[in-house]
Structure 1
Amino acid sequence: MTPLVRAALAAALFAAAGSALAQPVASERPPVYAPPPVVELQAKMIREYAAPEARQGVAVDADHVYAIVNTVIGKYDKATGARVGRWAAPREGLIRHINSCFAEAGKLWCANSNFPLVPMASSVEVFDTATMTHAASHSLGILDEGSLTFFERFGQGWIAGYAHYNEDGGLPYKDAAYAGVVFYDAQWRRTGGYALPASVLARMAPHAASGGVLGPDGLLYVFGHDRPELYVLARPVMGPTLIHVATIAIDAAGQAIAWDRTAPGRVMYAINRPTGVIRAFELPPVSLDHSPDARPLKPE
């Protein structure tokens, strides 16, 4: 055998061996990922307040509940249900669409957007709860993330939810599936984020998460536009998509929700938009025992 033939034979054998190694053995193929089962739970209603402003969302502090609708916020005594204050601005003005608020240290921190206008633009608006007057504003401007629907403190920074829409207020090249959750530092510089799971997007379509709050358990509770159910989301151990761990049936319809962090137990406030009422609920605990890849959301 000549050296030339010997070299050609060696090259052919090497190529064949490499091709064989490149072919995965069927038994070595990893299985297709199966998401954890979604636990079905039920919220218990414990209180109801009549509030004509309860068409968009609610906020709560130790002594009062706040009903929100676009450019109006009503302040109600938590014990009696009587309205004791109100803020209002002209429709289609500087503030167009307050999506949600949370109460903290005598202030209401609110997510505002220019919905249904495009391009989408958003701002953070702050109100004094004692006087029910506007106190501060921070514009986020036009964002690719979409329309700001909720936010709250997260460690030294912020966690915020953004919506895209299939219909009015949406973009032809970005539907509701582009909704997501974004993390920021204290100066509103983006530090991370997550996509919403397909199971939740499908339940909220053609809208997105209209309300969202972090629970005392570190899980994210999001509410859609009108379906009477909360979706409980956890952080994945890896990857860019939150994990849907539970759905809680709740006798409410839209949109922004609020934990009562001044009350014992697991008390959440929501609204029933069609009837203009605020409702308080006791929520069941949510376990992650059935979701080995799920973790609470905690600041790094």
Structure 2
Amino acid sequence: MPFHRSLINTTFFIYLNLSFSISSRGQRATEIRRFQLTQVQQGVAVDQTHFYVVNNHSLTKHTKKDGKQVAIWQDTTGLLKHMNSGVVVGQKLYCTHSNYPDVPMASSIEIFDTRTLRHIGNHSFGLFPGSVTWADFYNGYWWVGFANYSNKASAEGRDNRWTTLVKYTSTWQQLESWAFPANVLQAFGSYSTSGGTWGPNELIYCTGHDKPELYVLKLPERGHTLQYVKTIPTISEGQAFAIDRSSKGKQILYGITRNDNYVIVSVVE
């Protein structure tokens, strides 16, 4: 598959949102490199040696060194409608999937072998008050983001205030859930959370649909709503992203831009 690799001068996209009362404390994402691929629709996952592009009905696997495609998987059954994001745990790639924009909302986790991209398993949430957009496995638990959209409120009587983070055991028993803070919901606009993961210092990093921003949150000491910490301007534009946990000493971010099919690698500092 053809691709283009380029090193470009650092460009910062800074979005000022006065609704946030806490400063980003100077942190921002600086681009390291980018890979232009044939199709980049929904998000990217990463492990020690490769990154994985998640599209609505397909996956591609690429080397981190030069972006070369080494494997591809495509749904030929017509059963998958809208894959959203992925996370690598061991040698498995867990991809979130929903029936968006259909209602009632229904979601699943689709599981793939990272070595071959062969589909090897599934966990169904069935009908649920939200569409699963991201999942992460952290400290022995699954943490799953379920999106609701203000532009779909008339369909099920909900808007993006119903967006929820849910904590599950490793065998998918639901334990707890949290709402998102009002200023982050405002930043989402009529959309919702599109990507998320646990990051350094026991903090949760999430994105919206299209703004070049990371929203940093933490679990609350009291109550039922995630606590806002800060916003970090990014180069990649919303959607599902990944923090490269194999990188030691630096916080390396893999994100995407959909209009021009780029995977963008940056460092948060």
Is 1:139 the counterpart of 2:124? The answer is yes
> Where in structure 1 are there 5+ consecutive unaligned residues?
1-34, 285-300
1:67 is aligned to 53
Tell me how far apart the structure 2 counterparts of residues 194 and 100 of structure 1 sit (CA, whole Å).
20
Q: Decide which of 226, 232, 243 is 2:216's aligned counterpart.
A: 232
Alignment of 1:2-13 (within 5 A): none
Change (3 A) 1:44 1:143: same
1:267 is aligned to 252
1:185 is aligned to 169
> Where in structure 2 are there 5+ consecutive unaligned residues?
1-19
Tell me how far apart the structure 1 counterparts of residues 22 and 188 of structure 2 sit (CA, whole Å).
19
- After superposition, the C-alpha distances for 1:87-145 in whole angstroms (9 at most, x for unaligned) are 11148x2111111101122211111111111110011110112111101111110112x
1:114 is aligned to 99
Q: Decide which of 182, 201, 204 is 1:217's aligned counterpart.
A: 201
Query: Displacement of 1:172 after TM fit?
Result: 4.1
Change (3 A) 1:107 1:187: closer
Are the equivalent residues in 2 in contact too, given 1:165–1:171 (CA < 8 A)?
no
Are the equivalent residues in 2 in contact too, given 1:118–1:169 (CA < 8 A)?
no
- After superposition, the C-alpha distances for 1:145-165 in whole angstroms (9 at most, x for unaligned) are x01111111323211101011
Tell me how far apart the structure 1 counterparts of residues 33 and 144 of structure 2 sit (CA, whole Å).
28
Are the equivalent residues in 1 in contact too, given 2:103–2:156 (CA < 8 A)?
no
Are the equivalent residues in 1 in contact too, given 2:39–2:261 (CA < 8 A)?
yes
Query: Displacement of 1:72 after TM fit?
Result: 1.0
Identity of aligned residues (%): 37
Q: Decide which of 85, 92, 95 is 2:80's aligned counterpart.
A: 95
Give the structure-1-normalised TM-score. 0.79
Alignment of 1:235-246 (within 5 A): 235-246=219-230
How many correspondences in the alignment?
A: 248
Give the structure-2-normalised TM-score. 0.88
Change (3 A) 1:168 1:198: closer
Are the equivalent residues in 2 in contact too, given 1:176–1:201 (CA < 8 A)?
yes
Stretch of structure 1 that moved more, 39-48 or 128-137: 39-48
Tell me how far apart the structure 2 counterparts of residues 71 and 170 of structure 1 sit (CA, whole Å).
27
Tell me how far apart the structure 2 counterparts of residues 104 and 187 of structure 1 sit (CA, whole Å).
14
2:238 is aligned to 254
Tell me how far apart the structure 2 counterparts of residues 235 and 242 of structure 1 sit (CA, whole Å).
5
Are the equivalent residues in 2 in contact too, given 1:117–1:169 (CA < 8 A)?
no
Change (3 A) 1:277 1:134: same
DSSP-derived class of the 2:183 partner: helix
- After superposition, the C-alpha distances for 1:33-73 in whole angstroms (9 at most, x for unaligned) are xx962425311111211123321000011111111111111
1:12 is aligned to none
Alignment of 1:32-181 (within 5 A): 37-39=22-24, 41-90=27-76, 93-144=78-129, 146-168=130-152, 171-181=155-165
After superposition, the CA RMSD in angstroms is 1.7
Structure number with bigger Rg: 1
